[in-house]
Structure 1
Amino acid sequence: MRVAFISDLHASLDALDAVLSDIAQRGVERVVCLGDIVDLGPEPSSTLERLQQLQIPCIRGNHDTLDEHPPIQRLAEVEDWTRDQLGAAQLAWLDALPVEHLEDLDGLRVLCVHASPRSVGDQVLADTPLETLDAWWGDRQFDVMVCGHTHVPLLRRLNEQLVVNVGSVGQPFRWAFSGGPPPAVLPWSEYAIVGHVAGRVSVEHCRIPFDLEAFTRALRASTFPGGDAWLEQWARRAPRP
């Protein structure tokens, strides 16, 4: 059995559709979304609708609450704009999403969270201390944990457990953002496939081209605030500070 896990769509419908098409071509029939469906992108309503139409199980990310109150004015304006694009039923749907989900892959327990079992805002990184992760895990029992949030893919083994960050569909970062200038956004979309067949566990990180021209058209066709400044993140290739 194989399941595709997607995360951090950030209201990019073209990127979502391209990823779903790639998943179908690989013969994977089940998809689970790990949150951050909306915010920071030009098509929040249609992106949410696509997930609903396809009945894709979803959990809630930190941006899906739309109450982050970010200190950066540009991000606050985008959050307000996103809220205005969604109807009452869509906002209620987001609010009702669970914060975690346990997926059973033929006996393999896959814990689905946005960031960590403790919080939708934690960053599970390659160098996060094991003691910290143990505290975040609490008493949850799982074989594999899949997450997003950092926009950076990761595969890490912790004793007998695997941690898989699936990357971002809508805005893959060059590095995990922890303050300072926003990271450059890379020109592709990312997701991961976890498989369990005859006792063998597989993890495949997938990357497909991101159609920046389609994203630019969607951005400029909308009233998304500060669109040109937003596009600079795709153009920037500055080294990490």
Structure 2
Amino acid sequence: MKIAAISDIHGNLAALDAVLADIARHGVDVTVNLGDIVSGHLQPRDTAARLMALDLPTIRGNHERQLLGDPQRMGVSDAYARAQLLPEQLAWITALPANLRLRHDVLLVHGTPASDLVYFLDTVTPQGSRAATLEEVVQRAGAAEAALILCGHTHMPRSITLPDGRLIVNPGSVGLQAYDDDHLYPHVMENGTPHARYAIVEDDAQGVWHVQFHQVEYDWETQARLALAHGRPDWVVPLRSGRVGVAI
């Protein structure tokens, strides 16, 4: 089985279209969407419309959960997306599962099997963020029974094979290549270039999964200008550079 995994689109329709076009050249069996789909000041309504029409296997991320929650506690990205979405799009988001089994040995999660907020393959410390250790990933994977676990949330393309053979893959972010956060401790997540990210995972004749990471060019300058026009100057540098707070 050949699976394309996309995640963390954040309403960036131009990046999504570029990624979908690239995926089409690889002859995959299925494309899966790992959540954080529309939140942000780009094109949430058009992004939701595109994905609803495609009807991909899709799970919700923490931002889908949050934009359906209490408006008084909602962040600006979620509030903007919620205000833009049509009733039928909100209903679609409401119906999305937190986790999904694509088949018996393939599990889709946003953060970890137990949480949509916990980083799976990265760890936040008082010194900032770093790649998670093997021991940390084993603990977070728990007893989840799947040869392949696909996750998102951190926007960082990573993979690790556990001692029991389970492969954990984060395809990175389609739509936003850098951000800062203060959950647990202040930290930044940066990919270093503005390219849209996704991954293709395929099992071989012995049933062993292998991953290839892809990065795709798209018109990130137009999207950066759109973010600025929609009131998010803090997204301009991340969209243009894949960095947080770097002057360009």
Change (3 A) 1:78 1:103: closer
1:155 aligned counterpart, secondary structure: strand
Deviation at 1:220, TM superposition (A): 5.7
Give the alignment's TM-score, normalised by structure 2: 0.81
Deviation at 1:92, TM superposition (A): 1.8
Q: Say which is worse superposed, 163-172 or 127-136, in terms of deviation.
A: 127-136
| Whole-angstrom CA distance in 1 between matches of 2:111 and 2:69 | 15
Aligned to 1:123: 119
Aligned to 1:188: 195
Change (3 A) 1:217 1:128: closer
Contact kept, 8 Å, 2:60 with 2:93, in 1: the verdict is yes
Structure 1 unmatched ranges of 5 or more: none
Matching of residue 4 in structure 1 with residue 10 in structure 2: no
2:147 to 143, 146, 151: 143
Change (3 A) 1:134 1:197: closer
| One-letter amino acid of the counterpart of residue 49, structure 2 | E
| Whole-angstrom CA distance in 2 between matches of 1:238 and 1:16 | 21
Contact kept, 8 Å, 1:152 with 1:174, in 2: the verdict is no
Change (3 A) 1:192 1:176: farther
Contact kept, 8 Å, 1:184 with 1:235, in 2: the verdict is no
Aligned pairs, number: 232
Give the alignment's TM-score, normalised by structure 1: 0.83
Change (3 A) 1:234 1:181: farther
Matching of residue 52 in structure 1 with residue 52 in structure 2: yes
Deviation at 1:133, TM superposition (A): 4.1
Matching of residue 152 in structure 1 with residue 156 in structure 2: yes
Contact kept, 8 Å, 2:32 with 2:58, in 1: the verdict is yes
2:31 aligned counterpart, secondary structure: strand
Structure 2 unmatched ranges of 5 or more: 123-130
Contact kept, 8 Å, 2:197 with 2:216, in 1: the verdict is yes
Deviation at 1:29, TM superposition (A): 4.0
| Whole-angstrom CA distance in 1 between matches of 2:89 and 2:36 | 14
Contact kept, 8 Å, 1:150 with 1:176, in 2: the verdict is no
Q: Say which is worse superposed, 122-131 or 89-98, in terms of deviation.
A: 122-131
RMSD: 3.0
| Whole-angstrom CA distance in 2 between matches of 1:85 and 1:209 | 27
